[in-house]
Structure 1
Amino acid sequence: MKKLNFFWNQLTSTFWFVPSLIIVGTIGIAILSIYIDGLVEISHRGLSRYLFIDSADSARSILTTISGAMIGVAGTVFSITLVALTLASSQFGPRLIKNFMYDRLNQVVLGSYVATYIYCLIILNTIKENGEMDFLPSISILLSLLAALSNIILLIVFIHHIATTIQADMVISDISESLNKNLNVLFPEKIGEEHGEDHEPKEQEIKESYSNRMQVKAPKSGYLQYINNDSLLQKVNEMDGIIELHYRPGDYVVFSVEVATIYTNTDLSDEQVLYFTNQIIISETRNKYQDAEHSIHQMVEIAVRALSPGVNDPYTAISCIDNLTSTMCYLTTVKFPSKYRYNEDGDLRVIADALTYEGMLDAAFNQIRQFASGSPSVVIRLLEALITIHEFTYRPHYKRAVKIHAQMVLNMASDSFDEHNDFIDVKKRSQQIFGEGSDQ
């Protein structure tokens, strides 16, 4: 089921799926409205004469005008979208283009205009005025007028939306919101809410207790997008074995590299090995569904590009640091999943390549620190971010990781700052992490 949910999320994230659904739905509405027009006779007296068309020539003229306008505006919408994608690619990086393509409003707008065009063509084809048969779909024509009016309003909303979404602060905010939602799914347990204590099994001894060792190799090169953990756990439990995963979602794997190792006491058939291979999805790009560091890397990319000499935008980098600080403070409160997964009887079944807080902290701040050497304001904000994270952290190994980063920031400031007073500012702030009187 989770694998189906993954494919469904992938499908709904494509640029064409939602417009296609709108078009298919509109064709159904067109058929239904024509059917209703065939059942209902419209009186063109009183108020209804201002709402319904009573002339075939007028109906054709209206539908032709609407259809021509809609397909023209659809081209304009597509052009505006391409301009936004070009700006996003040059300013924020090509990997962020997906965020704009997956924007639901962009998909709905494009689908609505193309669907209205197709709707008008279908209705236009049903108008008959000859000696044998007269048919004027008045209700359907009224619906096309309402659709045209709605699309005009939708165009205004779309232009406002595009102008808003390409702003740096809004892009960073959207990534941060998506990251926080993803972390809530990947790390549902809070510290203090977990059941029982993790224990380190004698991993090597357990693996050596099995007589057979089988490799699961990557079927192609690419990024590991998804691992169906539930199916793997269920299958190795049935075989009374263990599977060790050497990579996690987000890692790049090379064709035929060993992505997992299965330990059993029975020989495995080629079909069984193929089953394990099919539970691992590899693609050309990364995604966020199981990759907790994906959105962090997107935000880091924006900060690094902002710190490049060609852009030189420290305010955008500082905004990225602020949002990453919020994320890392949240991660101090969650329980990172253990690399060891057990069945209901407490038997070890899966050894995974698990995420760690230290690794997430490295992903968030290492590259920003490396590119911020020429910007004292960014370095100072980076150290302030570490101070905030240090205040939220109470686990000793988390604190050690924060202190390591603070020391690297302090070392970099000592080597790169031209103004001595700037370094004094950084050193004073570092005392909040290392303590007063520290020689750091």
Structure 2
Amino acid sequence: MKDKALVLFRKLYRLKDKIAFYPALLAITGLVFTYLMIYLEERGISEYLLDVFPSLVINNTETARSLLTTFISGLISIMVFSFSMVMILLNQASSNFSPRLLPGLISNRRHQIVLGIYIATILYCIFILVYIEPDSDKYQLPGFAVLFSILFMVSCLAAFIYFIHSISQEIQINNIMDKIFNISKTRMLYLIDNEKYNKDDFAETDSWKAYNSRRSGYLQNVSAEKIAKIAKEKEAKIDIVVIKGLFISEKNTLFKCENELDDETLDRIHEHFDFSKSEFIEDNYVLAFKQITEVAVKAMSPGINDPGTALNAIDYLSQLFSLRIKKKDKSLSYIDDLAYVSMATVDFKDLIFQVMAELRTYCKHDVIIVEKLLTMLLHLKKMIGVENKTYQTIIDEEIDSLISDAEDAITNKRDINFIKSIS
């Protein structure tokens, strides 16, 4: 029961990434407040305030109905205009930068809250309008509730002004890349601070029993700590062979175990694998490398032709790689200093190859971009130090490949000599 409760909690937690989560939450809050105001009106709050603070009460039926009708129609127009701009932003980001950026832009919490404020105010005004009786006198009119509709409308106008400012910032590629970098940096620093790894703590797993995935989709998250507790109960070790963030089909090997597991235990373990049809950097920092690389590649395409953005993207990649070299290529989950779960990760060699392969293919003809890439690689090589021979060799291979591709793509000998002088 405890495992199922945790799984349910994780699923509910994932709802916050949906575009409708915060609007729905605020809409429900608006409805609850509406019925609270109706309850207070039934108890005679407007009649009381009309005698004590008459300036707080709208005591004219036609004025109240006109205000509420105007608010409803105006707010619907504002909402349509606001989120037409969101669609324009998403279309521009997809065509000019990368389609991979869309999940992050759609899940922008601030824009969702603005939409929720609009919807909550519209619902409030509609229900208060319906509550007004055509022939009611000033003591029956929900004047205090109408006053709140004015306050909510002012809040919506403030939210609209904020939204215009926010959307103008969101559409700038530098802000998009900065947001991606900061999220990925936070995730990597967390992993680096909490990782504990000793290569002798986990045996070879080639002969272990393999278990296949029961679902398909992107492996979004794995609760390694919970799986480690199950492994400890069964006095076994588990090796998760699939890299988080990759797409998995059904019947693909998901994990291995040194012992054969019963069906009940397998059900418990499978519950701690979360699959999704989309990817988020908060769960997988590797996605940040992919997104920023695609921004650089798209910027260098003939249709966009924006080398400045590509140079900025390489700067961000350089900072991300500087953090990545501090992380181990393998992740283990411990309980009482014993390793029970091993998780496959994208190692440094594969990660830098995937990034450089794309950039070399589409940017090798540009001398300035090649110079920037060489500077990045040499900076990483210097940070690694001579004691890490493996990483040194990996970077040397990438430098040689980059110079070789540049020699094939660039015909000017002076440019080639300039590139070689850097390395």
Same fold (TM over 0.5): yes
Aligned to 2:198: 198
Aligned to 1:11: 15
Distance (Å, rounded) in 2 between the aligned partners of 1:76 and 1:313? 30
Give the match's secondary structure for 1:187.
Answer: helix
> Per-residue CA shift, 1:190-239, capped at 9, x if unaligned?
xxxx87x72425724x876xxxx543211133221122211211111111
Deviation at 1:393, TM superposition (A): 2.0
Give the match's secondary structure for 2:35.
Answer: helix
Deviation at 1:117, TM superposition (A): 0.7
Distance (Å, rounded) in 2 between the aligned partners of 1:122 and 1:135? 16
> Does the alignment pair 1:166 with 2:182?
no
> What one-letter code is carried by the residue in structure 2 that aligns with 1:198?
N
Q: Please give the TM-score of this superposition, normalised by the length of structure 2.
A: 0.89
Counterpart among 67, 75, 80 of residue 85 in structure 2: 80
> What one-letter code is carried by the residue in structure 1 that aligns with 2:227?
L
Q: Please give the TM-score of this superposition, normalised by the length of structure 1.
A: 0.86
Matches within 5 A, 1:35-434: 35-37=39-41, 38-40=43-45, 41-42=47-48, 48-49=54-55, 51-128=56-133, 130=135, 134-189=139-194, 198-200=198-200, 203-204=203-204, 214-264=209-259, 268-332=261-325, 334-336=326-328, 338-344=330-336, 346=338, 348-394=339-385, 395-430=388-423
Give the match's secondary structure for 2:344.
Answer: coil
Give the match's secondary structure for 2:278.
Answer: coil
Number of aligned residue pairs: give it: 415
> Per-residue CA shift, 1:143-169, capped at 9, x if unaligned?
111111121122122122212211121
Deviation at 1:350, TM superposition (A): 2.4
Could you tell me which runs of 5 or more consecutive residues in structure 1 were left unpaired when the two chains were aligned: 431-440
Moved more, 110-119 or 304-313: 304-313
Give the match's secondary structure for 1:100.
Answer: helix
Could you tell me which runs of 5 or more consecutive residues in structure 2 were left unpaired when the two chains were aligned: none
Paired residues of 1:373 and 1:412 also in contact (CA < 8 A): yes
More helix by share: 2
Inter-CA distance 46–342: structure 2 relative to 1 (3 Å threshold): closer
Paired residues of 2:239 and 2:343 also in contact (CA < 8 A): yes
> What one-letter code is carried by the residue in structure 2 that aligns with 1:215?
A
Deviation at 1:392, TM superposition (A): 2.1
Distance (Å, rounded) in 1 between the aligned partners of 2:191 and 2:312? 25
> What one-letter code is carried by the residue in structure 1 that aligns with 2:15?
L
- Over the aligned positions, Cα root-mean-square deviation in angstroms equals 2.6
Q: Percent identity?
A: 24
Counterpart among 18, 30, 51 of residue 26 in structure 1: 30
